[in-house]
Structure 1
Amino acid sequence: MTVFGGVRSWASRHRRTLSIAAALVVAALGFTALYHLLHSVRPHAIREAFRAVSNAQIGFALLLTAASYLLLTLYDTGALRVIGRKLPWRTAALASFTSYTLSHNLGLALLTGGSARYRVYRAAGLSGGEVGSVIALASLSFWNGVVLLAGLAAMASTQLLPIFDIGLSLHWLHLGGMVVATLCLIPLLLRHFGLTALDIGGWRTPIPDLKTSASMTLVAALDLAAASAALFVLLPAPDPAAYPAFFLGYAFAIIAALISHVPGGLGVFEAVVIAMVPGDKAQLLAALLAYRVIYYLLPLLLAALLLAWHESKAWHAPARQFAAASESLLRELAPPLFAALVFAGGLILLLSGSTPAEAGRMHDLRHILPLPFVEASHIAASLSGTLLLFLAPGLLRRLNGAFVATRALLLAAAIFSLTKGFDYEEAVILLAICAALQWSRPAFYRKTSLIDAPLSTGWIVAALIAILGSAFVGFFAYKHVDYTSSLWWQFSLRGDAPRFLRASFGIAVLITGLALWRLFAPSARTVRDTPVGFDALEPALALSDSTDAFLAYTGDKRFLLADEGDAFLMYRVQGGNWIVMGDPVGNEDRWADLLWKLREMADAAQGRILLYQISAACLPQAIDLGLSIVKYGEEARVELARFTLAGPQAKTLRHAERRAVQDGAEFAVVAAAEVPAHLAELKAVSDDWLHAKKQREKAFSLGSFDPAYMARFPCAVVRIDGRIVAFANILATPNGTEMSVDLMRHVKDIPYGVMDFLFIRLMQHAQQAGYRWFTLGIAPLSGIDGRKLAPAWAKGAAFVFRHGEMLYGFEGLRSYKAKFATDWQPRYIAGPRGMAFAQAMAAVHQIVSRAPVRKDTRAPVAATA
């Protein structure tokens, strides 16, 4: 066990490196298989096959691609119908188009396409759970379409694929197709046996009925048929009778690409198609290259250009015609789309540098530029492409420095494309990307240092695989050239292979330099804690709609302030864990920037961040940070306009109020200025409560009985015979949105109904003051349904909620709050994956359970030097 434990510990410490290595190994295997599959194919044969693709074939492929993306929008339309949310088709189309263009090109569907869907639908009013259900139902439709069409193709095929040529006959292939096609009936069978919904990650996703399921599966099958046909028509003289066998190969290829997690399935998709689809391999590869451009890159370019046009109108038009919500949504979608587009531009430069130049253009170029300019331009273009791959994540995070550097590189690379081989098509594409980027300039507003920006594992993998792919293309293109050491020193207009070698060496030096620079950089920039008065937090607190923001005054937190002063987040550092309490406070436009800054600080200190008790409003930022999302519980909220003691549902409340009044209970609100005069009596009540409950003061997520903290807020009290028997300090947002309480304490011998009486009077007080909501706090583990197919953490949480009364009283707490609550809002925890999540939660327990130590009325604000 010690050996295995040591291995697990080592793997946990090096999880990121192992993830990168695993993805690179899979990609390398794909490129190696592709190289061996094409060992007999000459590069000039591929060029000839590519030139042989007619305009009619390209036109048909474009039409089928448009049909596929149009059908993709119906995935979301059907899913929205299943969950009972009707949105305009244009909203579903925007979510679908942006989602699929990102996930098709970058992979990591949940973090790229899923994040785009989340932003669109949250702006349209859907909850986080509903967005998750839409994603789940769309995925179910896709896989149903795959198995249905693959089964039908197998049943209709008149030839065997090479993979089946192991003694199987067409009879067995047809029989297997029937079995595969029936797999799409599994959701209907589940519904037939009484399972009407699945709980996925805490989200309850309905199972579609027969009619809806059939229509969604048919849409998916038609989409896959159109997508595969867009590739099929690019083949020379495609035979319709061969399409069923072709689709089987296509289906295996997309499944392999998804399982491999290689961004865009680059190399893996091509290798599987060439291995499984009969036909000339040069023609297949030429068709695949054209398909990459038509089905992957053109929709991405179109999405970015359309978005840039909309943004330019929204920000620059004299008369604004777009609502503020639409502008905000466009700002959210621009960065991921342009990040993917710039990444594609970098890949184009690398591939261009790995392939031979056009002989005719090089002949014309020699009359304009001397050879040294051509050689230098070739290396500069390849290095620019490499840098663009690593700048793309900065655009995703809206960094101003990434925007400036990317714009400069795109302009320079367009010039290099012309001077290295007069590649005017390449230059036009790069300039178009640059123009679209420039039109969307306001989307990239953050001043965070580009030098300190950490690269996520996914982006590192994507960049390295792109470089690996370009190297594969180069070695394949020049496999007929015998290697000699003299190649490094050959300089001529026709010296494509030497230029490729020198450019590859330059890229390797650049990557090594970047890695060493990051490795030997200081472990952290200087971080200082600058004490400031709590008054620095007031501009942000004035904008808050949540009373949780006032936990800032507990005196046990650090703060990170936005440069504008209208937003902050509060956090604690426990060991290597940087724990954020709740959502950032204040202007929501600053939230993402604050969270990224904190992550950079934690990363520089070799720590990790965890977001504790965040709301659904903070989930997009948590997803962008790459954190794992777990449902923590539900917040009990009372809509004060609906709160009343009339009616049968309030019978128990009326009874409790009547009993408390009969026992002499009197309610009063003590103003904050008068609280110090009552602190001694309140302290006696608090001490009695702590002793009776065998509790000690909590911290971080709750306030404690601290004189400075208590004196900041009004206090609701209940007196009997002039003696205070219960109290609760009142937190209220300045904008009149929400009122709540933090400390709720009473004496040991309190009469029946007094606490209900306290809450009833508080809610009536909030009603009279014009507040919209009264919140009763969070019921931990509430709303987590641990069904048979739920993840292990959900099952465990549901079990503890139902049977853990001796530990905490989870179910009893929810039942008590349910007497008042009219609305339950989910709360989440977002943290690192795997065992690191458990370690971070242990750190949360330590800081919550530890009694706070307040030094003065000031709190440190962490700031980077």
Structure 2
Amino acid sequence: MQPTSNDDGVQRTWLRGVAALRPVLMIAVVLAVVALAWFAARRLTGEVSYQDLMAALSQMPWWAILAAIALTGISFAALTVYDFQALDFVERTVPRGMVALASFSAYAVGNTAGFGPLTAGAVRYRFYSPYGVEPDVIARIVVFASAAFGIGLTGVIGLGFLVAGDDFDSLSIAPVGLQILGGVITAALIGLWLGAGKGRSVTLFGYQVALPGRGLLIRQFLATSVDVAASAAVLWVLLPPGAIGLPTFIIIYSVAIGLGVLSHVPAGLGVFETVIIAALGPRVDVDQVLGALVLYRVIYHLVPLALAALILSALEVRRAAAAPMMAAALRGSTRLAPAVLGALAFAIAAIEIFSGVTPLSERSVAWLTDRVPLSLVEAATFFDSILSVLLLVVARGLVYRLDGAWWAALIIVPLSIVLSLVKSVALVEVALLSLLFVALLLSRRHFSRHASLLHQALTPNWVLAVATLLITAFALLFYAYQDVEYANDLWWQFEFDQNASRSLRAMLGVMMTATVVAALSLLRPVRERLAPPSEEDIKKALEIGRQQPRIESAFVAMGDKSVLFSEDGKAFIMYGRQGRSWVALSDPIGPREAWPSLIWRFVEMARAVGGRAVFYQAGPDALSLYADAGLSAFKLGEEARVYLPEFTLQGSKRANLRNCMNRSTRDGLTFSILSTAEIPAHLDELRAVSDAWMTYHNVREKRFSLGAFDPDYLYQTPIGILCQEGRIVAFASLLLTDHKVEASVDLMRFLPGSVHGVMETLLVHVILHFQSQGYEWFRMGMAPLSGLSDSAAAPIWHRVGRMVFDHGEWFYNFSGLRTFKAKFYPQWQPRYLVVSGGISPMLALADITVLISGGLKGVIGK
């Protein structure tokens, strides 16, 4: 029985509700995993005291620490192979030094901040885009690296179970079961290798996925094996000698890493530790396992992040270096500085919070007792916990390049240095804070955005990271004082040896500050709703546009787009809203230096009311600015641009254009320009041509990215006309600026039944006119979906778009439009749809279609 329409409506409503709640449900699930992981870890370490853990750390031999650092270097060296292989797979070339620096920075940030594909992808974009690597290609690089790691890790686990299944006696699964599982995994990977080959592809979940060559697969598997083995050995050398064999431990480590990735918990925190403790508990003292895990996190996660910050600081100092290779590295690295410094600030804030909720060492207590008043120690511990939470907020602002975040960090970090010395003589914390302070001073010029720190939208990733940190702090607090019975009096005990009381108050400071910050963020005022532009706004925008080389500003005269001006009033974005999409037409218009902050303001304005920011027909030159604001680019098509100084009607290639012009002369067509003052006198005749054209084509007026027959709009610019026997048979509104760099046409209409090829003739006349006026470029508009790759390795966006381009004549003559423009032998430049929020670009494109069509009725009725 077929469902009724009412059932369909209920189902759609239910699905929309689930989609709307998906971010919240995802946060809830991941936080539940974190809480369960730390609860399990707490049960597994129930017999180990905090003092035992500190003793295990103090007994760690120096040779083991040095070996762990060396093995970390080997692991990160193997990680660079991922990027080399990925670039080879997507057939792109980037200097080797740049690839090494990009790979190290990407994994240093991704391993610590979590959400590796997202954070590491942003880092790679900043490094590779200056070398012509397109956004969709960088996305393929990220997918390749993620898939390579997943397949390689699975292969290591499979081979380990197959060869060493008998060694896992701590698991409840019989050895033969593990060996069978390992055999199945190994056989599947061998099948993948046999089926692989350059040019081949497989279909997964309805998507066609290109396969790399067999040689590349072998090289990548070896690189992943070295990476996993070296990173596992980092933790293994920190365990007691002879506790467990390295081959067996590599398999345990691989399972722990895999479960941490699948849990979606930032950096696998808690999940990874629980698996390692559960697997090694029967073999090694739990306090020694915990000590090794703490040092592992510091050496493998924190040290590379600090080293990345040092590298960026050194490059800032050498910013005047003239060597081309150094200059290229400098450009990529310093643009990455905010992301690295933000991650470092977040990590340091976490260390500060953990320090506040754990006991002071006996040595620190003894030193402080004789030199620092108790009241200062208590106050320093409490206020440092507050500053640590504020540093978390500042860390996010640093990633977003806020100048307020930079100034706040410049105040918080020195205060934290003083408080860290007073509360516990924490020299490691002081060293890290000092490193952050110096890096901030050297990177001042990268933090120039003016925006509120507290009025930022709380993204799911950010909520997860902070919540994971707070849950971990609670777990540490209860673990450190598991032998202390809770009593209300603990809150009021002030003694040097009352660590539990001091930590409770520090945790209270953390929670109070986090609650206030969350409340201020959630209760932030909703920004002003979309309002139509005033006449003053339109005049101001048109004046800005006339002083720029680009011609898009003319569309603001339609009055159907709102205007967002930069803070200095020298640049603007024109935009419309449809559904949840806030759509900006083209790149910002105005001086280039105003673009970054203007893009950020637009993105934040959309996010503040739950919308998605979209830039329609963005150019390739500004893609790095959009990436910095967390936006993703999808190729829309290509724009035809005629270079006027070289345009000619001579030669065999231009024979059709010459014939068209000769025919128009025989037919008595004459071309002329109507100035803005002359247009009102000819408005009725122009309207008659326009109405006849629309009736003939059975279309409605378009809006947003196209001009409409609106007198107020037409009066803004000259109009080129073709006349026959004194009667206008075709016209085109001309788009131009005072710079004479670019020119174009917008509204083009002709009288049906007039001379054959009249539009082609009109375009040639317009091009020759602008050529005679000294203009450099004539823009012929975009050919939608043109230039998309049809390769099996191309992203799904490209392949769907290419299919529509080749076979979509029923909807629109895509290929015919490109063929027509190709007659003028233009240069083709890509145009992009830039979208925020990680949503499907199809939703944004659907909203844009409604905007251009003047409403849903316009979409249905042309």
* Same-fold status (TM-score > 0.5): yes
Compute the displacement of 1:168 (Å): 3.1
Give, in whole Å, the separation in 2 of the partners of 1:81 and 1:321.
23
1:192-248 C-alpha deviation (Å, 9 max, x unpaired): 7x536999999x996433333433333333223222222222222157x82222122
Equivalent in the alignment of 1:191: 197
Counterpart contact for 2:153–2:258, Cα < 8 Å: no
Compute the displacement of 1:357 (Å): 0.8
Equivalent in the alignment of 2:860: none
- Corresponding letter in the other structure for 2:567: D
2:298 is aligned with 1:293: yes
1:712 to 709, 716, 721: 716
Query: Quick check: 212-221 or 264-273, which moved more?
Result: 212-221
Equivalent in the alignment of 1:448: 451
Counterpart contact for 1:801–1:811, Cα < 8 Å: yes
Structure 1's unaligned 5+ residue stretches are: 853-865
Equivalent in the alignment of 2:851: 847
Counterpart contact for 1:68–1:223, Cα < 8 Å: yes
Give, in whole Å, the separation in 2 of the partners of 1:753 and 1:763.
16
1:359 to 345, 348, 362: 362
Equivalent in the alignment of 1:138: 145
Counterpart contact for 1:188–1:209, Cα < 8 Å: no
Compute the displacement of 1:114 (Å): 0.8
1:101 to 89, 101, 108: 108
Compute the displacement of 1:395 (Å): 0.9
- Corresponding letter in the other structure for 2:471: L
Question: After the TM superposition, which residues 26-425 of structure 1 pair with which residues of structure 2 at under 5 Å, given as runs?
Answer: 26-157=33-164, 159-161=166-168, 165-169=172-176, 173=179, 176-177=182-183, 179-180=185-186, 183=189, 186=192, 189-191=195-197, 194-195=199-200, 207-237=211-241, 242-277=245-280, 279-280=283-284, 281-314=286-319, 329-425=332-428
Question: After the TM superposition, which residues 417-566 of structure 1 pair with which residues of structure 2 at under 5 Å, given as runs?
Answer: 417-524=420-527, 532=536, 534=538, 536-537=540-541, 541=545, 546-566=550-570
1:413-442 C-alpha deviation (Å, 9 max, x unpaired): 111111112212212211221121122112
Q: 1:698 to 1:44 in 2, by over 3 A?
A: same
Compute the displacement of 1:506 (Å): 2.4
Query: Quick check: 574-583 or 305-314, which moved more?
Result: 574-583
Compute the displacement of 1:643 (Å): 6.1
Counterpart contact for 1:250–1:273, Cα < 8 Å: yes
Compute the displacement of 1:266 (Å): 1.5
- Name the SS of the counterpart of 1:585 in structure 2: coil
Counterpart contact for 1:685–1:746, Cα < 8 Å: yes
Give, in whole Å, the separation in 2 of the partners of 1:186 and 1:644.
55
Give, in whole Å, the separation in 2 of the partners of 1:753 and 1:530.
41
Give, in whole Å, the separation in 1 of the partners of 2:117 and 2:662.
54
Counterpart contact for 1:781–1:798, Cα < 8 Å: yes
Structure 2's unaligned 5+ residue stretches are: 1-6, 857-862
Q: 1:247 to 1:541 in 2, by over 3 A?
A: farther
Counterpart contact for 1:560–1:568, Cα < 8 Å: yes
Counterpart contact for 2:117–2:146, Cα < 8 Å: no
Give, in whole Å, the separation in 2 of the partners of 1:629 and 1:348.
36
Equivalent in the alignment of 2:686: 682
Q: 1:374 to 1:771 in 2, by over 3 A?
A: same
Counterpart contact for 1:257–1:264, Cα < 8 Å: yes
Counterpart contact for 1:786–1:796, Cα < 8 Å: no
Equivalent in the alignment of 1:855: none
- Corresponding letter in the other structure for 2:394: L
Q: 1:5 to 1:598 in 2, by over 3 A?
A: same
Query: Quick check: 24-33 or 629-638, which moved more?
Result: 629-638
Q: 1:150 to 1:519 in 2, by over 3 A?
A: closer
Q: 1:842 to 1:461 in 2, by over 3 A?
A: same
1:447-477 C-alpha deviation (Å, 9 max, x unpaired): 2232423332211221121111111111112
Give, in whole Å, the separation in 2 of the partners of 1:534 and 1:676.
21
2:570 is aligned with 1:570: no
Give TM-score, length-normalised by structure 2: 0.88
Counterpart contact for 2:626–2:834, Cα < 8 Å: no
Compute the displacement of 1:70 (Å): 2.4
2:30 is aligned with 1:23: yes
Compute the displacement of 1:580 (Å): 1.7
Give, in whole Å, the separation in 1 of the partners of 2:40 and 2:823.
64
- Corresponding letter in the other structure for 2:830: Q
Query: Quick check: 123-132 or 147-156, which moved more?
Result: 147-156
Compute the displacement of 1:129 (Å): 2.9
Counterpart contact for 2:102–2:123, Cα < 8 Å: yes
1:490-509 C-alpha deviation (Å, 9 max, x unpaired): 22212112222222222222
Compute the displacement of 1:819 (Å): 4.3
Equivalent in the alignment of 1:856: none
Equivalent in the alignment of 1:827: 832
Compute the displacement of 1:565 (Å): 3.3
1:603-642 C-alpha deviation (Å, 9 max, x unpaired): 4445443333334445445445555655544434455677
Counterpart contact for 1:106–1:340, Cα < 8 Å: yes
- Name the SS of the counterpart of 2:117 in structure 1: coil
Give, in whole Å, the separation in 2 of the partners of 1:588 and 1:633.
24
Counterpart contact for 1:393–1:455, Cα < 8 Å: no
Counterpart contact for 2:649–2:657, Cα < 8 Å: yes
- Corresponding letter in the other structure for 1:476: Y
Query: Quick check: 484-493 or 144-153, which moved more?
Result: 144-153
Compute the displacement of 1:190 (Å): 4.4
1:748 to 742, 745, 752: 752
Query: Quick check: 42-51 or 610-619, which moved more?
Result: 610-619
Query: Quick check: 512-521 or 535-544, which moved more?
Result: 535-544
User: How many residues are paired up?
Assistant: 845
- Name the SS of the counterpart of 1:173 in structure 2: helix
Give, in whole Å, the separation in 2 of the partners of 1:143 and 1:555.
52
Q: 1:44 to 1:644 in 2, by over 3 A?
A: farther
Counterpart contact for 1:615–1:827, Cα < 8 Å: yes
Counterpart contact for 1:602–1:609, Cα < 8 Å: yes
Compute the displacement of 1:346 (Å): 0.4
Q: 1:517 to 1:671 in 2, by over 3 A?
A: same
- Corresponding letter in the other structure for 1:566: K
1:114-160 C-alpha deviation (Å, 9 max, x unpaired): 11211221122222233233323333433343234334433442643
Equivalent in the alignment of 1:861: none
Counterpart contact for 2:321–2:327, Cα < 8 Å: no
- Corresponding letter in the other structure for 2:164: S
Give TM-score, length-normalised by structure 1: 0.88
Q: 1:471 to 1:808 in 2, by over 3 A?
A: same
Give, in whole Å, the separation in 2 of the partners of 1:364 and 1:433.
27
- Indicate the RMSD between aligned Cα atoms, in angstroms: 3.7
Give, in whole Å, the separation in 1 of the partners of 2:209 and 2:675.
47
1:91-136 C-alpha deviation (Å, 9 max, x unpaired): 2123222221221111223332111211221122222233233323
Compute the displacement of 1:343 (Å): 0.3
Give, in whole Å, the separation in 2 of the partners of 1:596 and 1:201.
36
Give, in whole Å, the separation in 1 of the partners of 2:569 and 2:194.
54
